[in-house]
Chain A
Amino acid sequence: MPFVYGTLVTSALALLIAVPTGVGAAIFLSELAPPRISNAMTFVIELLAAVPSVIYGLLGIFIMVPFLRQYGEPFLKRTLGFLPLFQGPAYGVGMLAGGLVLAVMVVPFIISVSRDVLMAVPVEQREAALALGATKWESTWQVVVPYARIGIMASIFLSLARALGETMAVTMVVGGTPAISASLFAPGYSIAAVIADQFAEATGDLYIQTLIELGLVLFALTIVINGLARVFIISTTKKGSGH
């Protein structure tokens, strides 16, 4: 159970940070930025998606964790310390660090899928809204985004599946303690992290079988989420004019 809890908390935290950032950036790239800048930025974002996860873990463990321990967590404790989420000693490693690394990792996926579905919204939709006197933002927020809603949902699902299954970066910063704790500062574990950590040294059939079963849980979870996301994507791209 602590593993499932850890997986869910880190992924939820990651989405909480990554979704607004990712969708915001996708809106900027598809609606506002001139094509040349938009393409250049998309190129960089796709490179970002190609960075191996162990590199994110490396930066996480040597830059983010010390930063959180020294500044981030004490600051959160001072300002929001009345919430149970932000109490307890600041180790640096923990659920918060895991969630943050995941957020950085999934943002490129949200951006690249959301941008594609936003681009697939027919221009007439925007023109109609603008012709009715809407400002550019109103047309984007009230017409274009709702039109692309399902595709954006799909991008969120895809990145959720990635976040759940992401192993290395989380293993390196999450702390490795099988405990359920209300505080985000507390070290935890995720399903993928426990497998990575303990599989190679697991001895005895029962131990190995347990870890393999955890893998099965993870597998089933991501298959279901991915399956839904793909169905969403297929239905939007058929509706839109793109692709």
Chain B
Amino acid sequence: MRWRNIWRKLVNYVMFSLTGVCALITVGVLFFILGYLIWHGGSSLSWTFLTHLPTPVGETGGGMANAIVGSAKLLLLASVFGIPIGFLGGVYLAEFGGQAFSSVVRYTADLLNGVPSIVMGIFAFTIVVLPMKHFSTLAGSLALGVMMIPIAVRSTEEALRTVPMMLREGALALGASKWKTIATVAVPAARKGIITGIVLDIARVAGETAPLLFTAFSNRFWSPGWNQPTASLPVMVYTYAISPYDDWHRQAWAAGLVLLTLVLVANVIARVTISGRTAHL
């Protein structure tokens, strides 16, 4: 009996230490990624890198200013597509929707969120690139915009649900219409949560590569307007990383560092402002 108890205690300690090791390994991965990117990418990162166009193959130097601007344009247009739909959808779910229909919408939004990003790329390809016969910023933005909808819907809904019912009742009791109540009381009260959700949403699609490969494609020069193929940071990281040139590899590290920094900074800021509420999935 005594030996059995010692054995049970031993199992207790060993198993819990193992779970601790699992957790430490996982957390360690992030610091490893960050450290390695800074170590490798930091040295190639310079002012030229951020402000110059890529040089022709074989020449060292040059940068990816066009990719940075391209990414910004893609995200801007994607936000124009995705955020209004997602935001209004979230308002509907939280303020109007009936039980049955809301759960169907919620379920569908979750499914849409789980659709592989490359499938979104194919979707945008078939409805924009095929009829127009060429790759464009527009197509890339559409793919990213559709990907933004489900998260925008869910985060807006969650934020609105945290607003106490009493605030709405107060406004209604003062004679405000339902629409006025939502626009002037509920949404401003949930403002912080909604904006945070949208920032996280943008940060997520900012790193997406797969849907851009055959919608926005790539471009070694500036891309005027919205109707031309454009470069973007994630696609640059990809094409440079699988290229055979050493100088391109260095630039891939630097671009990766820029991308990761942007995404992580957006995430940290957003998550710190909603600390306490975890916005996973």
Contacts and interface: CB of A to CB of B under 8 A. Distances in A.
Given A42-B278, A61-B241, A226 B111 contact: yes
Contacts of A111: 23, 26
Interface string B126-150: 1000000000000000000000000
Interface stretch (B52-60, B170-178, B182-190, B202-210): B202-210
A54 B268 CA distance: 20
Interface in B1-51: 8-9, 11-12, 15-16, 18-23, 25-27, 29-30, 33, 36-37, 40
A112 B115 contact: no
B125 interface: yes
A109 B26 CA distance: 11
A168 interface: yes
A161 to B, nearest CB: 5
A46 B281 CA distance: 9
B241 A172 contact: yes
B267 A52 contact: no
Interface stretch (A70-78, A81-89, A193-201): A193-201
Contact of B256 (A43, A54, A167): A54
B214 interface: yes
Range of interface residues on chain B?
35 or more
Contacts of A22: 22, 26
Contacts of B264: 47, 50-51
B19 A25 contact: yes
A183 interface: no
Interface in B181-235: 200, 203-204, 206-210, 213-214, 217, 234
The 3 closest A-B pairs by CB, nearest first: A52-B207, A165-B116, A24-B22
Interface of B: 8-9, 11-12, 15-16, 18-23, 25-27, 29-30, 33, 36-37, 40, 107, 110-111, 114-119, 121-122, 125-126, 200, 203-204, 206-210, 213-214, 217, 234, 237-238, 241-242, 249, 252-253, 256, 259-260, 263-264, 267-268, 271, 278, 280-281
Interface of A: 20-22, 24-25, 27-29, 31-33, 41-59, 61-63, 104, 107-109, 111-113, 116, 135-138, 141, 158, 161-162, 164-168, 172, 192, 195-196, 199-200, 211-212, 215, 218-219, 222-223, 226-227, 230
